[in-house]
């Protein structure tokens, strides 16, 4: 416990000064090695020019930061992996508290990069022991998952091959009809967002 306490204090000290930089889209370490805004514009622009696909732009951005992208099929496999029950595979929700409480991937830990000191105690130990860590936020233009992944990866010295970012995010998860958990982690309050929104006959349905 003493070792964990020292580690938490170290990580908190390392993260807090970075918080302001990260809100302005500065990635620790990796950003410094890139030619700043022009590099991102060129990456996104070249992807768009070749494929006109936002997905390709996302992949280029993730790879530029040394992050592994995870598509919906891979994320579903992670979710159904028996190792998730032993927390060898974990999910981390990088959205804010209100969004997390309204619904998250079942069992996902919460880490708001804007308030890291409030969540470090819950995520440090599981991140250090997990074999795969999947970060996600809302999907689409949301990049909180990327910031959170880089923040924890670099601060905890996590091997890059253990860190994944689910670009489709929570929006894609719910659109695929996968279960969501309401309230706190492991609350047991499960529902299905797609079925809640639309059911046969057009009337709302929940379970």
Domains of the chain, with CATH numbers? 2-30+65-197 (3.40.250.10)
- Tokens linked to 46: 């070249």
Residues in a beta bridge with 68: 164
Which one has a higher pLDDT value, 52 or 27?
A: 52
Q: Is the pLDDT of residue 10 over 90?
A: no
Please tell me whether the overall predicted TM-score, pTM, comes out greater than 0.85 for this model: no
Alpha-carbon torsion 156, 157, 162, 167, what sign?
Answer: positive
Please tell me the predicted confidence (pLDDT) of residue 120. 95
User: Contact at 8 Å (CB) between 174 and 78?
Assistant: no
Portion of the chain with pLDDT greater than 70, in percent? 68
Q: Is the pLDDT of residue 14 over 80?
A: no
Backbone angles phi, psi at 135, to 5 degrees: -95, 145
Q: Is the pLDDT of residue 13 over 70?
A: no
Query: CB-based contacts of 202: which residues, under 8 Å, 6+ apart?
Result: none
């Amino acid at each position: 416990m003493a070792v964990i306490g020292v580690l938490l204090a170290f990580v908190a000290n390392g993260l807090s000064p970075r918080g302001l930089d990260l809100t302005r889209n500065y990635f620790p370490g990796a950003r410094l090695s890139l030619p700043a805004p022009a590099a991102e514009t060129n990456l996104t622009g070249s992807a768009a020019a070749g494929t006109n696909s936002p997905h390709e732009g996302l992949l280029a951005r993730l790879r530029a930061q040394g992050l592994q992208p995870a598509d919906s099929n891979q994320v579903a496999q992670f979710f159904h992996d028996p190792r998730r029950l032993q927390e060898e595979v974990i999910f981390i929700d990088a959205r804010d508290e209100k969004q997390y409480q309204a619904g998250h991937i079942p069992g996902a830990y919460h880490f708001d990069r804007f308030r890291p000191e409030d969540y470090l105690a819950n995520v440090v130990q599981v991140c250090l022991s997990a074999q795969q860590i999947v970060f996600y936020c809302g999907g689409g233009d949301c990049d909180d998952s990327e910031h959170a992944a880089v923040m924890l990866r670099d601060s905890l010295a996590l091997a890059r091959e253990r860190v994944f970012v689910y670009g489709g995010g929570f929006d894609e998860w719910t659109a695929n009809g996968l279960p969501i958990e309401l309230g706190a982690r492991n609350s047991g309050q499960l529902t299905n967002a797609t079925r809640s929104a639309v059911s046969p006959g057009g009337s709302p349905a929940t379970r």
